[in-house]
Amino acid sequence: MLIVPEKLIADLVTPEAAYEAVEAVFAAMARGDARNFPVVREALGHADALYGFKSGFDRAGLALGLKSGGYWPGNMDRGLTNHQSTVFLFDPDTGRPSAMVGGNLLTALRTAAASAVAIKRLARKNARVLGMVGAGHQSAFQLRAAVKAHAFERVVGWNLHPEMLSRLADVCAEIGLPFEAVSLDELGAQADVIITITSSFAAILKHAQIRPGTHLSCMGTDTVGKQEVEAELVAAATAFTDEVAQSVTLGECQHAIGAGLIADSDITAIGDVINGSHPGRTSEDEITLFDGTGVGLQDLAVAAMAVSRAKAAGSAIEVEI
Ligand code: NAD
């Protein structure tokens, strides 16, 4: 079995590589070549932690395995990341473990890649202004991936805790794009593409704040009860997702579904757009919304890529088990 430690990931998997892996696995899911297994997520009743597994099998990419991950709120005080993830891969022919891969950076890369795939496939070609709602850990990855997927000219940002917006300003300074902190009304009025990446449990953006033709990648809602945009906005948009089953239960679409504003059949897997069986955006005025819930197959795809690159570089650690 090979071990690819967390510290090696940054040199092995670039945002471009993560984009390629995630786009391919979304396409495989839509073709029926890859499927996610039911997610397990439990409160441990210890250390205030949430812990669970996301798993699946990609028959096309031959990736079988799981991501074990969770949230330990006390970790920060110990100098550790609160979110902890590790990916385990297995040989699909024998069931033998083939790799253990550090999953913290990979989680950020695969989440940002999903949002970027949606932007590339669904945003108007003449979109110029990127609006960021949220300025936490994931936001910097989202911003970096988005500007690689589309030629934005400037970035506007809003965050509940404004002092955190310096994170986005710093990334923009590094990549050479102007950044401005704005109100939510200004953000909706100026942005052609909006990424939401917060841990909010109530709608932040309202339908009335969004212009026709906007694309939204809603990436923060990955749990029952979380919400970033008004259910009416989801209903007014053409909705896409990584996986419909997750979108309607724990993704941004859960609220519009719960309110009876949309049905499961109104939501399209982004893989269908990648494969060409759905046209994606069909007019300049359409609001498109990608509900990025985060699926196990994304984790397996980027982990498998890390393993193959570590093997090629001779940097993976081999152990007998
Ligand atoms: P973080 O703790 O670093 O940042 C949290 C962000 O949410 C900050 O911008 C904060 O100001 C904002 N926020 C907190 N409470 C809020 C509220 N009530 N209203 C509005 N904004 C609020 O978290 P992070 O690591 O950046 O993750 C952000 C979200 O993305 C989390 O909900 C996380 O679970 C989710 N996430 C989703 C995926 C996926 O695949 N979809 C993957 C990783 C993380």
Whether ligand 1 lies within 6 angstroms of the CB of 254 is answered as no
Ordered domains of the chain (ranges, CATH): 2-107+297-318 (3.30.1780.10), 115-294 (3.40.50.720)
Question: Residue 151 and residue 260: Cα distance in Å, rounded?
Answer: 37
Integer angstrom CA distances of residue 170 from 20, 34, 108, 164: 26, 38, 18, 11
Nearest CA to ligand 1 atom 39: 294
Binned at pLDDT 50, 70 and 90, residue 180 comes out as very high
Mean pLDDT for the stretch of residues 240-244 = 98
Question: Residue 215 and residue 206: Cα distance in Å, rounded?
Answer: 14
Question: Residue 201 and residue 220: Cα distance in Å, rounded?
Answer: 10
pLDDT per position as a tens digit, 297-315: 999 999 999 999 999 999 9
Residue 31, SS3? helix
Percent of the chain with pLDDT over 70: 100
Mean pLDDT for the stretch of residues 221-248 = 97
Residues 6 or more apart whose CB falls under 8 angstroms from that of 177 comprise 147, 152, 153, 154, 155
Question: Residue 124 and residue 138: Cα distance in Å, rounded?
Answer: 24
Task: Supply the pTM of this predicted model.
Answer: 0.97
Q: What is the 31 CA–ligand 1 centroid distance (Å)?
A: 31
Say how far residue 207 (Cα) sits from the centre of its chain: 22
Percent of the chain with pLDDT over 90: 99
Would you state the pLDDT for residue 316?
97
Nearest CA to ligand 1 atom 40: 294
Nearest CA to ligand 1 atom 33: 220
* Sign for the pseudo-dihedral over CA of 21, 26, 28, 34: positive
Mean pLDDT of the chain, nearest integer: 97
pLDDT per position as a tens digit, 102-149: 999 999 999 999 999 999 999 999 999 999 999 999 999 999 999 999
Mean pLDDT for the stretch of residues 159-170 = 98
Are 115 and 146 a contacting pair, CB within 8 Å?
A: yes
Which of 71, 105, 137, 138, when mutated, tests ligand 1's pocket best, judged by the most ligand atoms within 8 Å of its CB?
138
pLDDT per position as a tens digit, 201-220: 999 999 999 999 999 999 99
Residues 6 or more apart whose CB falls under 8 angstroms from that of 291 comprise 218, 221, 234, 239, 240, 241, 242, 247, 251, 252, 253, 267
Whether ligand 1 lies within 6 angstroms of the CB of 222 is answered as yes
